[in-house]
Amino acid sequence: MQIKSAEYLMSNDDFRKCPKPDKPEFAFIGRSNVGKSSLINMLTSNSKLAKTSGSPGKTQKINHFVINGSWYLVDLPGYGYAKVSKEQREVFRKMIEGYVLNRQNLVNLFVLVDCRLEPQEIDVEFINWLGTNRVPFTIIFTKADKIGPNALIAKVEAYKAHLLQAWETLPDMLTSSAVSKLGQEEILDYIQNIINQLR
């Protein structure tokens, strides 16, 4: 998929206020600081589209972007980061859960996990929650530039083994780096494929 246009539309703190669900929607979720906003900027080749930050808790709302005038890309707040206050975590949790369970045009959720870490309880819990609620999702391992290619493969394999303890089938898994642009074409083509299947 070629990105011809990527425009910021609006930010909301509740799924009920989100734009009319008239386009297929793809959202990015994951722990605070995992690189959701950076990945969105990398995918759209626009470093200023989504706001990024070195400190967690930067994205605080449900942010809608219109891509190629035909689909919505959504940047969400992060969940469960210890350095974010308990109250704020709770606000984000409610916002995310309401959005994920009720957004009619949400086609697929991308769950981002930091490729360097062992499976984190908070991520696995969230993934299991998606499974229980039958929400379609794909895992993206971020920050791949921080480890070598062989280590990356090993981390992905270890993650699969961990999920297979609870799951019979595995979700799709992709890898990315906002620095090296690894995954840009693959993720955009992955989205295009899903959109094609909707027709």
According to DSSP H, which parts of the chain are helical?
36-44, 86-102, 121-132, 149-163, 184-198
Q: Which of 15, 25, 27, 32 binds ligand GTP (CB under 6 A)?
A: 32
79 in Cβ contact with 109 (< 8 Å): no
Side chain identity, residue 140: I
Stretch that binds ligand GTP, among 25-33, 64-72, 119-127, 151-159 (CB under 6 A): 25-33
> How many residues sit in the footprint of ligand GTP (CB under 6 A)?
24
Element (H, E) at 74: strand 71-75
* Rg of the chain over all Cα atoms, to the nearest angstrom: 16
136-175 residues in contact with ligand GTP (CB under 6 A) are 142-143, 145-146
Interaction between residue 183 and ligand GTP (CB under 6 A): no
Residue 104 or 180 with smaller CB distance to ligand GTP: 180
Stretch that binds ligand GTP, among 5-13, 33-41, 129-137, 153-161 (CB under 6 A): 33-41
Interaction between residue 117 and ligand GTP (CB under 6 A): no
Q: Helices 36-44 and 184-198 sit at what angle, rounded to 10 degrees?
A: 80
Interaction between residue 35 and ligand GTP (CB under 6 A): yes
Interaction between residue 62 and ligand GTP (CB under 6 A): no
Beta strand 62-67 pairing with 71-75: antiparallel
Contacting positions for Mg ion (CB under 5 A): 36-37, 58-59
